[in-house]
Amino acid sequence: MFTILKPEMRRFVEKLDPYLTEAGFKIDSRHPIKDWTALARDIYSPQAEDPAFSSELNAYLWLASSLFGNNAVAYQISRNTSPQSNLDSLMEIKKRFRKEIGEKFDLPIKFILNLEATGNVYHEAHGKQGILRVGDVALEDMPQEGRWDYFFFKYMHTSDDLANLQRETEVLKQARIFDRTIDENDWAKMVHFQTFVQPKQGEYKE
């Protein structure tokens, strides 16, 4: 089994671990993802055949990489129950984690993105065309026209079902994600510095 910590999780590097261990999962290993954008496009390729989903995915990837970089981390995890039971538990963890982390840390922050400024092709169903305002007051001295949409961060990825788990596991294997491992010493440094960039020898000295 695997789960992925997306780039926005670098703010909360260690926060997911207790959710997993409390549910009986063992974190067997951690693996660096150096190009989350490319991997995400492969993982979500079936859904991205829908133009609306593809538009939303492109905007999310642009926003996440702009704010948090393009690194992520894959966990390999295990538990002595059936694969379906494991997936069901991971889905519950994902829902609870997103809700609790969002309420605790992101409640004061809203991400409103001008889709036209990202350079991505967006679906006509997304966003609202116009000038961004609070009440009747534009947010800039020179009002900016754009197509605006709201985004929230989802923090982690888990497979939706067993078929997707098998396909996505193969995607990670083909990308050789599991060939590189983060040891405990490096992980402790990454937690300390809130980064998903794996340290090299001699770096990150205090």
Of the two residues 23 and 128, the one the predictor is more confident about is: 23
Backbone angles phi, psi at 148, to 5 degrees: -105, 140
In a domain, residue 147? The reply is no
In a domain, residue 206? The reply is no
94's CB contacts (< 8 A; 6+ apart) are 156, 158
28's CB contacts (< 8 A; 6+ apart) are 75, 76, 77, 78
Residue 21 pLDDT greater than 50, yes or no:
yes
Residue 206 pLDDT greater than 50, yes or no:
no
Residue 95's domain spans which residues? 2-109+154-193
- What pLDDT does 92 receive? 96
Place of tokens 């991205």: 48
| Strand residues in 37-134 grouped as ranges (E) | 72-78, 111-114, 128-131, 133-134
How many independent structural domains does the chain possess? 1
In a domain, residue 79? The reply is yes
Q: How far is CA 150 from CA 63, 111, 162, 175, in A?
A: 11, 6, 31, 31
- What pLDDT does 55 receive? 83
In a domain, residue 96? The reply is yes
Contact 63, 113 (CB under 8 A): yes
Of 25, 132, 13, the C-alpha closest to 72 is 13
In a domain, residue 92? The reply is yes
In a domain, residue 121? The reply is no
Mean pLDDT computed over 79-101: 95
Lowest average pLDDT, out of 21-25, 119-123, 149-153, 159-163, goes to: 119-123
Q: How far is CA 183 from CA 29, 172, 186, 200, in A?
A: 8, 19, 5, 12
In a domain, residue 126? The reply is no
Residue count of the chain, please give it.
Answer: 206
| Domain CATH for 184 | 3.30.70.141
In a domain, residue 128? The reply is no
Tokens coding 206: 């205090």
Name the band, by pLDDT with cuts 50, 70 and 90, for residue 201: low
Place of tokens 């991505």: 120
Mean pLDDT computed over 56-74: 92
179's CB contacts (< 8 A; 6+ apart) are none
- What pLDDT does 43 receive? 97
| DSSP helix, strand, coil percent of the chain (3-state; round to 5) | 45, 20, 35
Residues 45-64: tens digit of each pLDDT = 999 898 888 888 888 899 89
Mean pLDDT computed over 79-89: 96
Name the average pLDDT for the chain: 88
Name the band, by pLDDT with cuts 50, 70 and 90, for residue 132: confident
E strand or H helix at 64: helix 51-68
3-state secondary structure 27-39: EEEEEEECCHHHH
Name the band, by pLDDT with cuts 50, 70 and 90, for residue 197: very high
